A and B are shown apart, each in its own frame.
Chain A
């Protein structure tokens, strides 16, 4: 029971990481109806921007560095949209998706050339630099690696790290900010209008190109912030986002590719499924006991199953296929209604 609950908790922690990549992906899908394969790499570059400003060159305050990184990432996103994507017909998906795939490889290669695919030591940790409220020094509390519930204080012995709580809370705050931008501002309304009907958007006087730029800027800024937040946990290096991309894709498809909040939920679902399923499959002893009890005693088969941990992508891919099979628009995605 303890193991199970622990895996649920771990699942939530990982889910937050998948969500921060899935959310920007959904923002871009909403604007352009294309899957931006470069999303993870753009976020990675954003995290490196933050790292450079906070430690390498300027030694700025971590939060200031993060804000500069978000601005730079936003500018980069707008530049990519303007120069590489806008010249192409957005309704012809193949070339545009191939371009994003190209951007993925270029950014990854450039990053690898500069930083040698090596993990950087001590990436800036926003959560550890939280302010001291007097009665509660949040930053110090987050740094406290002792765990919230130790086996002494709770009989189940569950581990929940303080900064995991911080990460999940940050994600919720980011979602709240996105909600305010998308639902409560004129720019956000225009963004949703373009996402809903591009032609009619032109007819009410919206400059569609500018809104697409805005969408890319928003996605890249939030992606950068997310990457800076998760970098201390998954290490800061040029390949940091590559393994997350497929989970994020599954998360986005689960919630509906055009629903930001669905994608956040999808991230947690993918995290949970992964943590629970893989946790048990890789637990050979547990597996053998179960198989024994139903009369399967083939040791080789059990070992084979155990080694499936080498392919941790299986659960998200199965989830992705299942969702696409039964609900192609995801759980909260928009059904395209054709009416004459």
Chain B
């Protein structure tokens, strides 16, 4: 039994004539926080979308989740296997209430502990409890991100994919959010693959990291090492 949660190899994707991913390979170990750094247009979002088999114009490659090939599985099936995806821009259901958003997070579950889980995430994010009957679209950006993360966790995922969770949020809120990620990873054992531009914070909580440049992996290694890598420091840490 390997200790790999996710194994991606030879991932290619293109929109029309433009190649976005050119033979990407990444590995995520069970229980770790893995980060993909990259500038705008490097292909970070496309990588996560390909893993979940979200609609992309053209995409090919091998994706294995816990040793099982999921390249041809549809998104619903992949979610059912234990992958949750927080898309860029949160992806909440704006017209539905906070609590309905959370219930939808548990859509693939058939057990009867859904309400207990909702209470648990309300404890983690008390502000969501205050807003439980409010339409998700009326929540602030930070609250929506908390909602998006707890909705993803409602499916009790083994692997959580987070697409630029810091986007558009105030620095203090981002710091809190990343602390929460660390806590969830430690307490729940949820494996995380985070795509980020905010390299400082992301490397702070990550075990391993990849640097994505124009559709290929330019650098990879333990987060500590990458933090001290001169090229990374110059390009992403502003040192």
The stretch from A194-202, A276-284, A308-316 touching chain B is: A194-202
B residues near A204, Cβ cutoff 8 Å: 79, 104-105, 107-108, 151, 155
- Given the interface contacts A190-B104, A337-B137, does A203 sit within 8 Å of B52 by beta carbon? yes
**Sample of 10 more A-B contacts, CB < 8 Å, known A190-B107, A340-B167:** A189-B96, A189-B104, A193-B96, A193-B104, A203-B84, A203-B91, A205-B76, A206-B104, A206-B107, A340-B89
A residues near B103, Cβ cutoff 8 Å: 189
Q: Given the complex of chains A and B, what is the CA–CA distance between A205 and B103 in angstroms?
A: 12
23 A-B Cβ contacts within 8 A? Answer: A189-B100, A189-B103, A190-B104, A192-B100, A193-B93, A195-B95, A196-B93, A196-B94, A197-B91, A197-B93, A197-B94, A199-B54, A199-B87, A202-B54, A202-B75, A203-B52, A203-B75, A204-B107, A204-B151, A205-B75, A205-B79, A207-B74, A207-B76
Q: Given the complex of chains A and B, what is the CA–CA distance between A29 and B100 in angstroms?
A: 21
Which positions in B face A, CB cutoff 8 Å?
52, 54, 74-76, 79-80, 84-85, 87, 89, 91-96, 100, 103-105, 107-108, 137, 141, 144, 151, 155, 167-168
Which positions in A face B, CB cutoff 8 Å?
186, 189-190, 192-193, 195-197, 199-207, 334, 337, 339-340
Contact B79 A199 (CB under 8 A): no
A residues near B74, Cβ cutoff 8 Å: 207
Contact B95 A196 (CB under 8 A): yes
Which of A195, A197, A337 gathers most chain B CB within 10 Å?
A197
Q: Given the complex of chains A and B, what is the CA–CA distance between A193 and B151 in angstroms?
A: 13
Which of A197, A202, A203, A206 gathers most chain B CB within 10 Å?
A203
B residues near A196, Cβ cutoff 8 Å: 93-96
Contact B76 A202 (CB under 8 A): yes
A185 to chain B minimum Cβ distance, whole angstroms, is 12
The 5 closest A-B pairs by CB, nearest first: A205-B79, A205-B108, A196-B93, A200-B91, A202-B75
Q: Given the complex of chains A and B, what is the CA–CA distance between A202 and B85 in angstroms?
A: 10
Q: Given the complex of chains A and B, what is the CA–CA distance between A199 and B55 in angstroms?
A: 9
B residues near A200, Cβ cutoff 8 Å: 87, 91-93
Chain B residue nearest to A202 (CB atoms) is B75
Other-chain contact of B141, A205, A337, A339 (Cβ < 8 Å): A339
Chain A residue nearest to B151 (CB atoms) is A204
Q: Given the complex of chains A and B, what is the CA–CA distance between A207 and B76 in angstroms?
A: 6
- Given the interface contacts A189-B104, A190-B104, A190-B107, does A203 sit within 8 Å of B96 by beta carbon? no
A254 to chain B minimum Cβ distance, whole angstroms, is 19
Q: Given the complex of chains A and B, what is the CA–CA distance between A172 and B79 in angstroms?
A: 39
Chain A residue nearest to B89 (CB atoms) is A340
B residues near A186, Cβ cutoff 8 Å: 107
Which of B87, B95, B141 gathers most chain A CB within 10 Å?
B95
Contact A192 B141 (CB under 8 A): no
Chain B residue nearest to A186 (CB atoms) is B107
Q: Given the complex of chains A and B, what is the CA–CA distance between A27 and B142 in angstroms?
A: 32
A residues near B87, Cβ cutoff 8 Å: 199-200, 203
B31 to chain A minimum Cβ distance, whole angstroms, is 23
Q: Given the complex of chains A and B, what is the CA–CA distance between A12 and B84 in angstroms?
A: 50
A179 to chain B minimum Cβ distance, whole angstroms, is 15
Q: Given the complex of chains A and B, what is the CA–CA distance between A334 and B137 in angstroms?
A: 11
A155 to chain B minimum Cβ distance, whole angstroms, is 48
Q: Given the complex of chains A and B, what is the CA–CA distance between A290 and B141 in angstroms?
A: 59
Q: Given the complex of chains A and B, what is the CA–CA distance between A192 and B79 in angstroms?
A: 19
Q: Given the complex of chains A and B, what is the CA–CA distance between A337 and B94 in angstroms?
A: 8
Q: Given the complex of chains A and B, what is the CA–CA distance between A192 and B104 in angstroms?
A: 10
Q: Given the complex of chains A and B, what is the CA–CA distance between A110 and B84 in angstroms?
A: 48
B228 to chain A minimum Cβ distance, whole angstroms, is 33
Contact A192 B76 (CB under 8 A): no
Q: Given the complex of chains A and B, what is the CA–CA distance between A190 and B76 in angstroms?
A: 13
Q: Given the complex of chains A and B, what is the CA–CA distance between A192 and B108 in angstroms?
A: 16
Q: Given the complex of chains A and B, what is the CA–CA distance between A204 and B95 in angstroms?
A: 16
A160 to chain B minimum Cβ distance, whole angstroms, is 38
Which of B75, B80, B167 gathers most chain A CB within 10 Å?
B75
Which of A200, A334, A339 gathers most chain B CB within 10 Å?
A200
A residues near B144, Cβ cutoff 8 Å: 339
A residues near B167, Cβ cutoff 8 Å: 340
Contact A205 B107 (CB under 8 A): yes
B residues near A201, Cβ cutoff 8 Å: 93, 104
